[in-house]
Structure 1
Amino acid sequence: MTSTQTRTALVIGATGGIGGEAASALVRHGWTVRALTRRAQPARDGIDWIEGDAMVAADVARAAQSVHLIVHAANPPGYRNWGKLVLPMIDNTIAAAKAQGARILLPGTVYNFGLETFPLIDETAPQAPTTRKGRIRVEMERRLKAASAQGVSVLIVRAGDFFGPHAGNNWFGQAVIKPGAPVKSVTEPSTKNVAHAWAYLPDLAETMARLLDRADRLGAFEVFHFGGHLLAWGEMAASVRRVTGQPKLPVMGFPWWLIVGLSPVVPLFREMAEMRYLWREPLVLDDRKLRAFLGADLPATSLDAAVATSLRGLGCLEVSHPLPAGEGGARRAAVGG
């Protein structure tokens, strides 16, 4: 496809954090963007909203008519009903992509990997997760790889825990800070002295769009790791302190003891406890392949700027609040670069 031809994308999950950012990034890069949503919405921000359900194959097929790309960013909130929803939704996306000859873009996670691959994980690391959600993620990618052998091009970009200006289904907006009010304290979910990979959603979405601008260089089944910000315990809290101008802002440890203790009777806590291992061991996504592919064109917002934008978007910081001068260089999970 030449640059003068219209590129059309369908985003499934555009009301979520990464889906919404991906839709916006694609619009900036000249794509015509449709978004599948269960509730009708007027066209806005260059996005055409189409009413339908990702669990209904006919709805996905209708929304995907004549598209060149399907972004599969659907993710059941709060870990609910993963076993019943995740795989049927990816099957509907695969069927629609086959019918249209479209590429599938999947925002991937680190759930696929067990402790034997830690701390440095590249795209070829073995996938032998011990968690139910991890096994579901592995099966999603297996089905996508099988589809790529049948003519469906697939791009997977795996990243660490999301944060950004929209609350979404992520730890930053649900545990690290309390959205909708000035910040009174910060919670650190990770174990002390353990580094954790965070992905700033606008950077991740822009990276995906730039990869798609180079689609002629992508293979039929292409996987990249997005390094993002590699933060030790206390570094996210330190950034929030700088951005809010509160150097003595209380920093709390996450109450894992309560989550684990109540997990037998609280379904959400059970799902959270299953993923605790990701916060207890150091994890670095090896992004050398991505850096080699994009070179200097890899987005890298500084940590303080990313945190400030996130807090503003979550209603925790006044829009006019200034970023502290001279603070906040990006600390990247980079290896060899």
Structure 2
Amino acid sequence: MSKIALFGAAGAIGQSIAAALGAQGRAYRVVGRNQDSLRKAFGRDPLAEIVGWDPDSPESVIAAARGVDTLVYMVGVNYWQFELHPQLMRKTLEGAIAAGVTRIVLIGTVYPYGRARGNPVREDHPREPHTFKGRMRKEQEDLLLQAHAAGRIQATVLRLPDFYGPGVEASLLHRAAVAAVNGGAADLIGPLDRPHEFVFVPDVGPVVARLAGTPAAFGRIWHLAGAGVTTQEALVAEMERQSGRPLRRRVAGKTLLRLLGLFKPFLREFVEMHYLLTDPLILDDSALQALIGPIRKTPYAEGVRQMLAAVPGRVGRVPVLA
């Protein structure tokens, strides 16, 4: 089977995809700017080929993509540098095409939609971002889909909601999980009672592996929804139930985010995306399930159990109930 390359593989989604490929016995290439991080994550897997790259060097991009049939793109940038998203996509796309890559899968977000016109949101929802980050993500997608329309490469986008899972520090729920295990306050961004959805990161990899191997998937955008509509409050309550520890919630709303943002760039940049916590945007993935078949979605209670079990410091502190 042709080799697949994971660009930006060191993050949680990349590791989930690598685990799915490894379970199938498929060789894969992991590509990133920090080879030490790649070796730490994948160095023990004989199926993994570790390759560093410099996206500012066309020769480096071509070398990283050479000999690959399918490229899965999940390259991250600092939250305060979203203008880099289309720039990096353009450089990677040109290098991949020059290297002879046939297909590219972009792991996308809900940002390009802007505010939902209604829920659940299907793939034909207008992409009308009202935020800078949404516009940059849309521009990134447009570069890819235009290359597909021009016959230069086969391309598709898999759009995900917010995610969580064991070891996923970028999740909205991570600090609450740490507090549930080790004590202290649960730092959260509110409101907590609005409908929301989360995808469990280990569930993503098998979907990407199937999607990348489905010819009919290319040329359009797909949704992968979470395990149902929930709220942050409900998931924090589940953490309390499983840990047996009541949690003191320390919730930052939009006004407090603005103040905290004076000192923390991430929180400052999150202000414009705060609407996603006040105006629900729930994905409909029925089209994806019609394409690739039933999708395994870990129930939230089980996802929370695995999340708590992975928090450092758990051993000898808090028994996590089933």
Please report the TM-score for the alignment, with normalisation by the length of structure 2: 0.87
Secondary structure of 2:173's match?
A: helix
Q: CA–CA distance in 1 between the matches of 2:316 and 2:152? A: 47
Q: Which residue is equivalent to 1:28?
A: 23
Q: 1:310 aligns with which of 307, 312, 315?
A: 307
Q: Which residue is equivalent to 1:331?
A: none
Secondary structure of 1:71's match?
A: strand
How far did residue 110 of structure 1 move? 0.8
Matches of residues 31-50 of structure 1 in structure 2 within 5 Å? 31-41=26-36, 42=39, 43-45=43-45, 46-50=47-51
Determine if contact 1:68/1:103 at 8 Å carries over to the other structure: yes
Q: CA–CA distance in 1 between the matches of 2:68 and 2:293? A: 29
The aligned amino acid for 1:63 is A
Q: CA–CA distance in 1 between the matches of 2:257 and 2:286? A: 36
1:76-115 deviations in Å (ceiling 9; x for gaps): 14x03221x2122111221133231321111111111222
How far did residue 75 of structure 1 move? 0.9
Q: 1:14 aligns with which of 6, 9, 13?
A: 9
Q: CA–CA distance in 1 between the matches of 2:56 and 2:305? A: 36
Secondary structure of 1:117's match?
A: coil
Q: Which residue is equivalent to 1:334?
A: none
Determine if contact 1:120/1:283 at 8 Å carries over to the other structure: yes
Q: Which residue is equivalent to 2:251?
A: 253
Determine if contact 2:181/2:308 at 8 Å carries over to the other structure: no
Secondary structure of 2:125's match?
A: coil
Secondary structure of 1:171's match?
A: coil
How far did residue 147 of structure 1 move? 0.9
Secondary structure of 1:31's match?
A: coil
Determine if contact 1:12/1:36 at 8 Å carries over to the other structure: yes
Comparing 255-264 and 304-313, the one that deviates more: 255-264
Determine if contact 2:181/2:317 at 8 Å carries over to the other structure: no
Matches of residues 155-174 of structure 1 in structure 2 within 5 Å? 155-173=156-174
Comparing 105-114 and 40-49, the one that deviates more: 40-49
The aligned amino acid for 1:8 is K
RMSD: 2.6
Secondary structure of 2:211's match?
A: helix
The aligned amino acid for 2:122 is D
Matches of residues 58-73 of structure 1 in structure 2 within 5 Å? 58-73=59-74
How far did residue 27 of structure 1 move? 2.4
Q: CA–CA distance in 2 between the matches of 1:127 and 1:63? A: 32
Determine if contact 1:55/1:88 at 8 Å carries over to the other structure: no
Q: CA–CA distance in 1 between the matches of 2:75 and 2:278? A: 27
How far did residue 320 of structure 1 move? 11
Q: CA–CA distance in 2 between the matches of 1:312 and 1:196? A: 23
Determine if contact 2:180/2:243 at 8 Å carries over to the other structure: no
Secondary structure of 1:234's match?
A: helix
The aligned amino acid for 2:13 is I
Q: Percentage identity across aligned positions?
A: 27
Comparing 17-26 and 184-193, the one that deviates more: 184-193
Structure 1 residue 282 corresponds to structure 2 residue 286: no
Q: Which residue is equivalent to 1:329?
A: none
Q: Which residue is equivalent to 2:137?
A: 137
Secondary structure of 1:224's match?
A: strand
1:179 and 1:120, CA in 2 relative to 1: closer, same or farther beyond 3 A?
same
How far did residue 223 of structure 1 move? 1.8
Paired residue total: 313
Q: CA–CA distance in 2 between the matches of 1:144 and 1:237? A: 38
Structure 1 residue 216 corresponds to structure 2 residue 215: yes
Determine if contact 1:195/1:231 at 8 Å carries over to the other structure: yes
Determine if contact 2:182/2:317 at 8 Å carries over to the other structure: no
Q: CA–CA distance in 2 between the matches of 1:93 and 1:240? A: 40
Q: CA–CA distance in 1 between the matches of 2:252 and 2:321? A: 27
Comparing 271-280 and 283-292, the one that deviates more: 283-292
Determine if contact 1:167/1:179 at 8 Å carries over to the other structure: no
1:192 and 1:171, CA in 2 relative to 1: closer, same or farther beyond 3 A?
closer
1:221 and 1:112, CA in 2 relative to 1: closer, same or farther beyond 3 A?
same
Q: Which residue is equivalent to 1:120?
A: 120
Structure 1 residue 91 corresponds to structure 2 residue 90: yes
Q: CA–CA distance in 1 between the matches of 2:313 and 2:196? A: 23
Structure 1 residue 300 corresponds to structure 2 residue 300: no
Q: CA–CA distance in 2 between the matches of 1:205 and 1:165? A: 14
1:55 and 1:318, CA in 2 relative to 1: closer, same or farther beyond 3 A?
farther
The aligned amino acid for 1:102 is T
Determine if contact 2:158/2:221 at 8 Å carries over to the other structure: yes
Q: Which residue is equivalent to 1:82?
A: 82
Q: Which residue is equivalent to 2:267?
A: 269
